[in-house]
Amino acid sequence: MPSLNAPHPFPLEVRPGLTLDLVGATLAEEWLALVERNLERLARWEPWASLPQNLPGIRLYLAWQAQSFVSGTAVPLQIRLDGVLVGSCSARIDTVEGTAEIGYWIDGDAEGRGIARQSVAALVGHLLGRGDIGRIQARTAADNLRSRALLKRLGLEFEGVLRSSQRINGGRADMAMYALVAP
């Protein structure tokens, strides 16, 4: 099981100026500001984005994410561009099954510059390098064409659509499932 005291590659420089680092409760104010700037856009894809956001809740979420890393059940990362927080890239780990489910989002102003693709590629590389992950998967809204294209470019294969599998905005959404099986 990884821990904050065990060796890990974070912070990880993905390219000059683009880094991935572990999250923690000390980021709460900066994280909340980023979330609030993007809530309307994210609410289309992310169920949590339609819930009320506040500083105590963000602190609890980030502390839980950090504890999940320590327990080996998550790799929760912040994405920084030139030192500025621009998004999130993470994996939930099922230690029994040896699988990881990845998720990501970036600030609307940072889209279209390869930031999400390069960050997720670095996370996938990290997960494959661990040796205990045999499958990496991602679910994205079936109509989120940009996210689907990103997953395909990273080599995840489309496995099908999970019909009506996610609650979102008072309704249900079909989710496209993508996966990469470790060699």
Q: Does 4 map to a domain?
A: no
Count structural domains, the chain. Answer: 1
pTM score above 0.85: yes
**Assigned domain for 3 exists:** no
- The span from the CA of 138 to the CA of 141, in Å, is 10
* Residues of the domain holding 163: 12-181
- For residue 38, the one-letter residue type is N
Model confidence pLDDT, tens digit, residues 68-121: 999 999 999 999 999 999 999 999 999 999 999 999 999 999 999 999 999 999
Asked whether the beta carbons of 177 and 137 are under 8 A apart, the reply is yes
Residue 2 lies in a domain: no
Whether 53 is covered by a domain: the verdict is yes
How far are the Cα atoms of 56, 93, 101, 140, 149 from residue 145, in angstroms, in the given order?
34, 25, 19, 9, 6
Q: 168-183, pLDDT tens digit by residue?
A: 888 999 999 999 999 8
Task: For residue 75, give the CATH number of its domain.
Answer: 3.40.630.30
